[in-house]
Amino acid sequence: MRRVLKFMSEVTEITSETEATPQPELPPQWYALHVLSGQEKKVKESLERRAKTEEMGDLIREVVIPTERVSEVKRGKKIESERKLHPGYVYINMYLRDEEKKLVEKTWYFVRETNGVIGFADGDNPMPIRPSEVETMLGQMREREEKVLPKVAFSIGDKVKVGDGPFQNQEGLIEGVDMERGKLKVSVNMFGRSTSLELEYWQVDKT
């Protein structure tokens, strides 16, 4: 009899704990947050840290900043860096609406009270991003994690302005592109004659 009572007591405790923290029946969805430019990483880290410390991990599932790896050759040295695909935006996978599609205040205020967050991208009545758009975004992230792109893309025929060296401020046309070395062959007009220059990417700007 004691064993039965003990078992019933344990079942009651488990049941009451489950009822105290009900799990949403709908799957989490993706939303876009508008954040202060330059603070995307800080916002992401803050959301992730608070979700852990405030035990919101069951409601806040994932936070991402879509980026790509880019490279440039500057003064003969190749430099790689990360570039944000959507500056000023952070994407969050979370439970924001209940089964009746009403806003869940707990997660709503959790996001809105995060430093650096301006608000949801589509205003005070945010709607989830379409699954097809989410798949495209995540696919781009996976694809661009695997390869490095040139920081600035130039093509033959582009008009550029020289921003460094003895031909500074001269305008010209690109005649050749060497992506591996980060070099451009640029034709400029000097004293009525066409002069060909070899310049690095960083030495010119598109016009």
Question: Counting Cβ atoms within 10 Å, is residue 139 exposed (0-12), middle (13-18) or buried (19+)?
Answer: exposed
Residues 115, 92: Cα–Cα separation, whole Å: 15
pLDDT tens digit string along 50-73?
Answer: 999 999 999 999 999 999 888 776
Q: How far apart are CA 4 and CA 69, in angstroms?
A: 62
- What stretches of the chain show up as alpha helix (H) in DSSP? 2-20, 40-53, 105-112, 131-145
Instruction: Please state which of the four CATH numbers 3.40.50.300, 2.60.40.10, 2.40.10.500, 3.30.70.940 is assigned to the domain occupying 24-150.
Output: 3.30.70.940
**Tokens 């592109």 belong to which residue?**
177
Provide the pLDDT for residue 86.
92
Model confidence, pTM? 0.67
Domain boundaries, given as residue ranges, for the chain:
24-150, 159-206
If pLDDT is split at 50, 70 and 90, which confidence band does 5 have? Answer: very low
In the structure, what pLDDT confidence band is assigned to residue 165 with cuts at 50, 70 and 90?
Answer: confident
Q: What pLDDT is stored for residue 24 in this prediction?
A: 55
Domain 159-206 part of CATH 2.30.30.30 = yes
